[in-house]
A and B are shown apart, each in its own frame.
Chain A
Amino acid sequence: MKKTGAQILCESLIKEGVEVIFGILGGAILPIYDTLTQYPQLRHILVRHEQGAAHAADGYARATHKVGVCMATSGPGAANLVTGIANAYMDSSPVVAITAQVPRPFIGKDAFQEADITGITLPITKHNYLVSSTGELADTVKEAFYIARTGRSGPVHIDIPRDVQTEQAEFIYPDKVNLPGYKPVFQGHPAQVRKAARLINSAKRPLIIAGRGVIMSQAYAELRELVEKAQIPVVNTLLGISSFPRNHVLSFGMIGMHGMAYANMAVQDADLIISIGMRFDDRATAITGGFAPKARIIHIDIDPAEIGKNVRVDVPIVGDVKNVLGVLNKEVNVNTHSEWLATLNKWQREHPSLEIRGGEEVIPQYVVRQIYEATQGDALVVTGVGQNQMWAAQYFTFIKPNSLISSGGLGTMGFEIPAAMGVKVGRPDEVVWCVGGDGGFQMTIQELGTIAAENIGVKIALINNSYLGMVRQWQELFYERRYAHTKLWNPDFVKIAEAYEIPAVRVGRRDEVVPAIYKAMDCDGPFLIEFVVEPEENVYPMVPPGKSLSETMELPKPKKVSKRKPKALTRS
């Protein structure tokens, strides 16, 4: 039976199991939106800015392991998706972005709301399509979803001219894709796996660096088996947080620029690094020349192009983490590494890295810790970018698998609110906390409208220090406190939330923190807490830019030791 392009698109999305679309309409995409109403099984969430649609689809995808879908009209609508698509690309998030294009006869004529959007998204997508006829639309959608979710997942963009949406074609949804140039490798090479096992079995000071690949591959059990069988300590990248329970005795936390001092020390002293599903990002490795100087490196990754890209590798294994670890675990011997673990535990005691100082004032570390205490880790945490992100990563004890959703690679401020929307929509039964700062909040603040309209129950912890805090920290430490343009004049955030009919409270004293958190959790729908925090609080530990992990700066020792009673005060 012949169907219009718009019908073919909607039915193809249903065939792919799509349940939710985040988007905004406009002229060129009207035929699709007009048709969308005929398919009530496709829930459409109208966002307030297309960037929000892309971040929401990204958050949804990360939280559900399904493909997230966002939609926008031609020209400016499509261009507004770009930041969100780039963000999904950097963190390998499976998103299908659908945009409308001007009708085919107008393409290249600088028509109203025309932009060469496939030209623009080419370097920030895994693949993209400009659909040139209605007849190829079904195949294109099939391929797009297949490419987005398989191998190293990532965003795929489909641009559909308006007349392709309205013309008719025979609708047959293909059951297979024909992609001769796309054959992801899933199984690790057996010889490489054996070589890796030999290195692991003979290592004295082995260390696992777990990345987001573990989460994407859902290889939690396999990782845990490897760790416990051979007693190998685990550290993780930012996006590797929640790949392994942080309260496990073998977890030593995050490495990198704001990693735990003892975790960075472990990297620098290890004789074998087993990197699993991570890509040696510069924020994790610091300068690569000084990274893990004593170690041989095993690198397990699904993307062959990641092997040797940033760091030299001794044993590469290309394949899906879950499959590779499944085979590797059989070849790895039971071990104890008691001396090495004793050293790490000693470092952890000597360099605690996560102290919370006492006092009346609200400090972000305390806020994050109390959100953890209130939820007991049974929550999904979505963060902004900057100081708030690092405090969330450091002070929340991530126990639940895949419970941190954060913009790692691109570092997109404004990710938090729309991504949290997507996370909550995808996992409605979970408690979703959005931890952000006052800077990032104002970059996508309009999505409070979406949250209110759709009653999306995210709990927003707004850490307000009235600064672009991380940049201010750099100015303080590396630019002699010249605070150029980092001070923010802010509106009354509580009033703004209330204007959107979102209940909100402001917290300015430490003893108000816990009650506010419980108030938010007791509230049925969305809730905002503005935490007015110490404006010049810094994130420590810190590896200064251009230095190696060996040069991790720890929290400067306070002048009056008596003021530091972290234990007593964290439990207040």
Chain B
Amino acid sequence: MEATKYTISMLVEDKAGVLNRVASLFRRRGFNIQSLAVGGSEQPGLSRMTAVVLADPAQVEQVRKQLDKLINVVKVADLTNDDMVARELALVKVAATASTRSEIMQIVDIFRANIVDVGSDSLMVEVTGDEEKVDSLFELLRRFGIKEVVRTGRVALTRGAVTAHASNKRKGG
């Protein structure tokens, strides 16, 4: 079956070793993980993890259920088919000379990205968006010389009043 990208959102207890449990599960079950973003949530004591996995539908069902079995994972939702907003943040350090600087700034403007640091021979650009937007900005900046890149990986929430984990019905032993 065709492998596609799935966005899995998890609400996890903010305890020592939880990231290790989640990462270990992906490794042990042989799931292909593309990105994993971790941070706080709206509830104290709980963190939210967003994972992008490359899988076929049967595999992603296994991913979801196996994650659900982890005691410290409170909720798991597959947001892929939901109406979601997915973003990532990237920082890119691009080489810039006096002659290229304004052209770079124009591109940055079009992408509604920001220049966050200016060096003598480089600029640091901050961009937020989905992966395609970040990729296409990088593509355009490539010819100026990209020196360093860092990306957060995808974070995502469902649109509107529905919470990401409302559809999650079952927990298993």
Number of interface residues of B (CB under 8 A): 26
Question: Judging by beta carbons under 8 Å apart, are A182 and B171 in contact?
Answer: yes
Question: Judging by beta carbons under 8 Å apart, are A318 and B170 in contact?
Answer: yes
Question: Judging by beta carbons under 8 Å apart, are B58 and A308 in contact?
Answer: yes
Contacts of A305 in B (CB 8 A): 62, 65-66, 68-69, 172
Q: Does A152 contact B (CB under 8 A)?
A: yes
Look across to chain A and name the residue whose beta carbon is closest to the beta carbon of B21.
A122
Contacts of B17 in A (CB 8 A): 118, 122, 130
A271 to B156, CA, bound (A): 44
Question: Judging by beta carbons under 8 Å apart, are A181 and B13 in contact?
Answer: yes
Contact of B173 among A118, A182, A307 (CB under 8 A): A182
Interface residues of B in 10-59 (CB under 8 A from A): 12-13, 16-17, 20-21, 24-25, 28, 58
A184 to B68, CA, bound (A): 11
Q: Known contacts A181-B73, A305-B62, A305-B65: does B173 contact A122 (CB below 8 Å)? A: no
Q: Does B137 contact A (CB under 8 A)?
A: no
Question: Judging by beta carbons under 8 Å apart, are A180 and B62 in contact?
Answer: no
Q: Known contacts A122-B21, A123-B24, A308-B61: does B71 contact A179 (CB below 8 Å)? A: yes
Nearest CB of B to A363, in Å: 42
Look across to chain A and name the residue whose beta carbon is closest to the beta carbon of B69.
A305
Q: Does A378 contact B (CB under 8 A)?
A: no
Question: Judging by beta carbons under 8 Å apart, are A147 and B172 in contact?
Answer: no
Q: Known contacts A305-B65, A308-B58, A309-B62: does B71 contact A185 (CB below 8 Å)? A: no
Question: Judging by beta carbons under 8 Å apart, are A123 and B71 in contact?
Answer: no
Q: Does A302 contact B (CB under 8 A)?
A: yes
Contacts of A119 in B (CB 8 A): 20
Question: Judging by beta carbons under 8 Å apart, are B173 and A150 in contact?
Answer: yes
Nearest CB of B to A489, in Å: 38
In the complex, which of the residues A127, A179, A182 has the most CB atoms of chain B within 10 Å of its own CB atom?
A182
Question: Judging by beta carbons under 8 Å apart, are B172 and A132 in contact?
Answer: no
Question: Judging by beta carbons under 8 Å apart, are A180 and B74 in contact?
Answer: yes
Q: Does B80 contact A (CB under 8 A)?
A: no
Nearest CB of A to B144, in Å: 44
Interface residues of A in 182-221 (CB under 8 A from B): 182-185
The number of inter-chain residue pairs (CB within 8 angstroms) is: 66
Nearest CB of B to A302, in Å: 6
Contacts of A155 in B (CB 8 A): none
A contact residues, range: 20 to 34
Contacts of B68 in A (CB 8 A): 304-305
A181 to B72, CA, bound (A): 6
Question: Judging by beta carbons under 8 Å apart, are A127 and B62 in contact?
Answer: no
Question: Judging by beta carbons under 8 Å apart, are B70 and A185 in contact?
Answer: no
Contacts of A126 in B (CB 8 A): 71
Nearest CB of B to A122, in Å: 6
Contacts of B62 in A (CB 8 A): 305, 308-309
Look across to chain B and name the residue whose beta carbon is closest to the beta carbon of A184.
B173
Interface residues of A in 275-309 (CB under 8 A from B): 302-305, 307-309
A423 to B62, CA, bound (A): 35
Nearest CB of B to A140, in Å: 12
Q: Does A418 contact B (CB under 8 A)?
A: no
Q: Known contacts A181-B171, A184-B171, A303-B173: does B16 contact A123 (CB below 8 Å)? A: no
Contacts of A147 in B (CB 8 A): 71
Contacts of A179 in B (CB 8 A): 71
Q: Does A233 contact B (CB under 8 A)?
A: no
A184 to B172, CA, bound (A): 5
Interface residues of A in 136-156 (CB under 8 A from B): 147, 150-153
A152 to B150, CA, bound (A): 42
A180 to B69, CA, bound (A): 12
Question: Judging by beta carbons under 8 Å apart, are A303 and B13 in contact?
Answer: no
Contacts of A122 in B (CB 8 A): 17, 20-21, 24
A-B contact pairs, 8 of them (CB 8 A): A119-B20, A180-B13, A181-B70, A182-B171, A185-B172, A302-B172, A303-B69, A309-B62
Given contacts A130-B17, A179-B71, A305-B68, 12 further A-B pairs with CB under 8 A are A122-B24, A123-B24, A127-B71, A132-B16, A181-B13, A181-B72, A181-B75, A182-B171, A184-B172, A185-B173, A304-B170, A304-B172
